[in-house]
């Protein structure tokens, strides 16, 4: 009955059995999506809320010059903005990275979920606040960190997020991101990203190869990144 989306929300606070059932029902007809498939494009009229049950996706913008900027990664359990339907058109696109299982929750159904289950609303608003915190961390990285720090910081973030949802246990986990995608996330060229990855490998901090990230020396990686996990808000406020 449970799925990754429900698991994630429950990590933000207890949900009633009815709430879980309602969520399960709302996400019970997911669609299989191939890799590299646009779920929605900039300029499109927003439709249902996308919920990633399996697989990774990413938000991005393409500039007139053709360059791309990755804005966020969606991992299993993540969803896009709850109230997306209030806007007339999308200001960015969302594309799958791996083959995925995507549930689509219509706007009336989403409103009902939020209205009838306070626990769901709280968990979803918390999730959205965390996503905003991640965006702020990205802005900070892009503005004020050197390239090697940016790379290390993103790897720390992705590792923690993956571990939070049970996608990583040891120091190794599956990271299905190409160097091109990572470069477009970090405001770098693929060439330079490649050199930075080598530098991190030679330094004994981490190795990214064949879709797997191996964190050889967590302390060193954290230190290079200047990483502070507070913005992921794992410690939530107790009591309402």
Partner DNA sequence: CGGAATGTTGAGCGTCCTCAAGTTGGGTGG
Partner DNA sequence: CCACCCAACTTGAGGACGCTCAACATTCCG
Binding site for its own copies (CB under 8 A): 42-43, 45-46, 59, 61, 63-65, 67-69, 71, 81-89, 91-92, 122, 125-126, 128-129, 132-133, 135-140, 142-145, 184-187, 226, 230-231, 233, 235-238
Q: Bridge-partner residues for 14, per DSSP?
A: none
Pairwise CA distance, residues 41 & 134, whole Å: 22
By CB under 7 A, is residue 190 in contact with DNA?
A: yes
Exposed (0-12), middle (13-18) or buried (19+): which is 191, by Cβ within 10 Å?
exposed
Binding partner of residue 69 among DNA, its own copies, none, CB under 5 to 8 Å per kind?
its own copies
* Shortest Å, Cβ 189 to DNA: 4
Q: How far apart are CA 130 and CA 98, in angstroms?
A: 23
Q: How far is the CB of 35 from DNA (least distance, A)?
A: 8
Which does residue 9 bind out of DNA, its own copies, none, counting CB within 5 to 8 angstroms by kind?
none
- The DSSP call for residue 84 is G
Q: Name every residue whose Cβ is closer than 8 Å to that of residue 54 and which is 6 or more positions away in sequence.
A: 4, 76, 100, 101
Between 211 and 226, CB nearer to DNA: 211
**Residue 126 binding partner per list DNA, its own copies, none, with a CB distance cut-off of 5 to 8 Å that depends on partner kind:** its own copies
209 binds, among DNA, its own copies, none (CB under 5 to 8 A by kind): DNA
* C-alpha–C-alpha distance, residues 240 and 87, integer Å: 30
Among 106, 211, 223, 228, binds DNA (CB under 7 A): 211
| Nearest CA-CA partner of 75 in 42, 96, 52, 95 | 52
Number of residues that bind DNA (CB under 7 A): 19
209 touches DNA (CB under 7 A): yes
């Amino acid at each position: 009955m449970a799925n990754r989306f429900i698991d994630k929300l429950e990590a933000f606070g207890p949900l009633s059995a009815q709430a879980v059932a309602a969520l399960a029902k709302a996400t019970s007809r997911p669609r299989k999506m191939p890799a590299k498939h646009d779920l929605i494009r900039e300029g499109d009229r927003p439709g249902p809320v996308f919920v990633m049950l399996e697989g990774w996706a990413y938000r991005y913008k393409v500039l007139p010059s053709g360059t791309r900027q990755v804005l966020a990664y969606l991992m299993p359990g993540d969803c896009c903005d709850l109230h997306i339907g209030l806007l007339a058109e999308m200001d960015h696109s969302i594309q799958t990275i791996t083959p995925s299982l995507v549930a689509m929750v219509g706007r009336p159904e989403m409103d009902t979920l939020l209205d009838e289950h306070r626990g769901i609303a709280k968990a979803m608003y918390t999730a959205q606040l965390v996503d905003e915190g991640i965006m702020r961390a990205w802005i900070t990285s892009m503005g004020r960190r050197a390239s090697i720090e940016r790379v290390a910081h993103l790897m720390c973030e992705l590792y923690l997020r993956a571990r939070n949802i049970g996608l990583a246990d040891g120091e190794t986990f599956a990271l299905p991101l190409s160097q091109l995608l990572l470069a477009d996330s970090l405001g770098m060229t693929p060439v330079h990203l490649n050199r930075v990855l080598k530098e991190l490998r030679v330094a004994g901090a981490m190795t990214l190869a064949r879709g797997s990230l191996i964190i050889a020396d967590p302390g060193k990686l954290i230190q290079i990144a200047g990483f502070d996990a507070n913005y992921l808000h794992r410690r939530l406020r107790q009591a309402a």
